[in-house]
């Protein structure tokens, strides 16, 4: 059981940080497994699941749905510590694990993931779903840590539009009012976790450092929630159409 104050903070704010969930040895093993997986997967992953930087090195920016192609990362998403934690967030409802992704902000990358709510493209109803972020590197205000707006998860899904940022499909049409919510940067060390509710408004900034900022993201929903499949299918079609009009780095 995780301490009730962390669970209460998540419910109150729409996000929380759990330091030191994975040991340094575990993070070293996860990083090793990731490197091995990337060597196999990046070339063969379905188009759309892999996003590169447009730089000379073709640095990897995002790899989506890793759990579908890696038994190791499928198991990691179902790690008993993660499942128990998420079950507490969901007041003991059953937890369904949905996916694993990697976001690697390469050194000195200038793009942002603009303000958005994950449920603008996940469509959980009720929005009983959470993103769990596991830091593989230091995640700080300088390296592009998550910034969440406290209490914003209690509101509904605001109007979104295509963000124009590869990997971050949608962003708020109108940036949030700075006076309305307290903005909190979720600084993480390798092995720390953050949790954010699918309705929480959040963003990540550029990486001003000379180090990579790698996050593994795990998505979960509760057995009380159902996906609005018609909305999800429409979103998929819209995204495919939008990407066809864009120069995606390959």
Ligand X SMILES: O=C(O)CCC(=O)C(=O)O
Residues contributing to the site for ligand X (CB under 6 A): 103, 105, 113, 118, 131, 144, 202, 204, 215, 217
Cβ closer to ligand X: 127 or 144?
144
Rounded Cα–Cα distance for residues 172 and 153 (Å): 14
Phi/psi at 54 (5° precision):
-90, 30
When the beta carbons of 50 and 103 are compared against ligand X, the nearer one is 103
Looking at residue 150, the DSSP 8-state letter turns out to be: T
In angstroms, the CA 20 to CA 5 distance is 16
Residue number, 113 or 166, with CB nearest to ligand X: 113
Q: How far is the CB of 144 from ligand X (least distance, A)?
A: 6
Question: Are the beta carbons of 132 and 233 closer than 8 angstroms?
Answer: no
Rank residues 3 and 249 by Cβ distance to ligand X and give the closer one: 249
- Smallest distance from ligand X to CB 91, Å: 23
Residue 90 or 121: the one with the smaller Cβ distance to ligand X is 121
Q: Max alpha carbon distance in the chain (Å)? A: 48
* Residue 65 beta carbon to ligand X: minimum distance, rounded to whole angstroms: 14
Q: How far is the CB of 20 from ligand X (least distance, A)?
A: 20
Q: Which of 168, 116, 119 is nearest to 147 (CA)?
A: 116
> Hey, CA dihedral for 185, 89, 114, 139, is it positive or negative?
positive
| Nearest Cα residue to 164 out of 96, 78, 245, 235 | 245
Give the Cα separation of 51 and 60 in Å (integer). Answer: 6
**Which residue's Cβ has the minimum distance to ligand X?**
204
- Taken as a whole, the chain contains a residue count of 250
Q: Which CB atom, from 95 or from 201, has the smaller least distance to ligand X?
A: 201
Q: 5: Cβ–Cβ under 8 A, 6 or more apart, which residues? A: none
What is the C-alpha separation between 174 and 209, in angstroms, rounded?
Answer: 29
Q: How far is the CB of 32 from ligand X (least distance, A)?
A: 21
Question: Minimum distance between the CB of residue 112 and ligand X, rounded to whole angstroms?
Answer: 9
Q: Token digits for 211?
A: 């180090």
Q: By C-beta, is 152 or 204 nearer to ligand X?
A: 204
Minimum Å distance from CB 6 to ligand X?
19
């Amino acid at each position: 059981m995780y301490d009730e104050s962390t669970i209460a903070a998540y419910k109150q704010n729409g996000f929380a940080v759990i330091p030191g969930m994975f040991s340094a040895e575990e993070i070293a093993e996860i990083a090793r497994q990731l490197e091995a997986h990337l060597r196999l997967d990046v070339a063969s992953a379905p188009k759309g699941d892999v996003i590169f930087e447009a730089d000379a090195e073709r640095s990897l920016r995002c790899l989506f749905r890793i759990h579908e192609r890696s038994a190791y990362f499928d198991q990691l998403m179902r790690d008993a510590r993660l499942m128990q934690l998420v079950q507490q967030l969901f007041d003991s409802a059953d937890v369904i694990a949905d996916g694993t992704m990697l976001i690697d902000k390469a050194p000195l990358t200038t793009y942002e993931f603009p303000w958005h709510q994950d449920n603008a493209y996940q469509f959980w109803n009720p929005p009983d779903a959470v993103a769990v972020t596991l830091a593989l590197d230091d995640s700080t205000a300088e390296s592009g840590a998550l910034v969440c707006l406290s209490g914003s998860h209690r509101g509904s899904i605001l109007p979104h539009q295509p963000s124009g940022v590869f990997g971050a499909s949608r962003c708020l049409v109108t940036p949030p009012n700075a006076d309305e919510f307290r903005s909190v940067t979720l600084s993480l060390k390798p092995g720390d976790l953050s949790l954010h509710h699918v309705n929480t408004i959040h963003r990540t900034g550029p990486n001003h450092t000379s180090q990579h900022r790698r996050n593994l993201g795990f998505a979960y929903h509760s057995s009380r929630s159902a996906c609005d499949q018609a909305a999800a299918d429409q979103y998929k079609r819209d995204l495919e159409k939008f990407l066809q009009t864009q120069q995606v780095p390959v």
